[in-house]
Copies of this chain bind each other. A is one copy, B any other.
Amino acid sequence: MSRPTRRTHRQAEAEANDRALLEAAREVVAVDGAHASVAAIAARAGVGIGSLYRRYRTKQELFQRLVVIGLDRWLAAAQAGLAHDDPWDGLAHYLLAGIDIGQGSLGAIAGTIEITEEITEKNRCCDTAVDALVARAHAAGVLRPDVTRTDLHLLIEQLGKSPMIDQLRRQGRTDLVDMAIRARARINAIALDGLRAGAPHRLPGEPPDSALLSRRWEPSADNPRPS
């Protein structure tokens, strides 16, 4: 009998394939949103369609896994932010990490999958962590007081989507992709500076209701849940 920690070649290869699959799915979904096709995902991962369907029985199962992983990374980013000594640095880390993780792509498929209890629970954890991050920054007086967690979330969602970078990447213009990524870093820096305390104006209107975000997980008419 082999030692339990020792895995066969096949098992290791299968795990590597799974990682490649998830990473590829993340990339393709970031570009095509809910319209991402399993063929494109498999091709990007460099595996056959058959291998994809051996691991995930349906496309939705893969997407659910994708959402769970995204929420995990999102929570990790928030906790890493809380680990920073400086309240502002922590908030900035969370925001930039959230943008890079592609929180925006999560929203794209949010309405297309069945919501499991696991997803709801992880979502709650994330909200709690971000609330702490925001409260600390508010208490330290480094974040403009009229910004709420939902504002932050919307900002991340908005800045997370980068259709131009996706388009350039599809075209294989790696030099331009680098340029676009550097350019986006500047946009992010602008947004960060807009979040700092001491802003010249109050934000317009009332703080947005957090229901705005939770409602997005509900199915829509054009994206009916599977029966």
Contacts and interface: CB of A to CB of B under 8 A. Distances in A.
Interface string A186-227: 110111111110011101111111011001101011100000
B221 A186 contact: no
Nearest to A207: B186
A146 to B, nearest CB: 8
A35 interface: yes
Interface stretch (A1-9, A133-141, A176-184): A176-184
B189 A203 contact: yes
Interface in A15-34: 33
Contacts of A104: 163
A contact face: mostly helix, strand, loop, or mixed? helix
B199 A163 contact: no
Nearest to A159: B158
A182 B205 contact: yes
A55 interface: no
A164 B194 contact: no
A201 to B, nearest CB: 6
Interface stretch (A58-66, A73-81, A115-123, A165-173): A165-173
A164 to B, nearest CB: 6
Contacts of A218: 171
B161 A183 contact: no
20 contacts: A35-B35, A151-B190, A155-B187, A158-B184, A161-B161, A161-B163, A164-B212, A170-B222, A171-B222, A176-B211, A182-B208, A185-B205, A186-B203, A186-B204, A189-B201, A189-B203, A189-B204, A190-B199, A193-B193, A193-B194
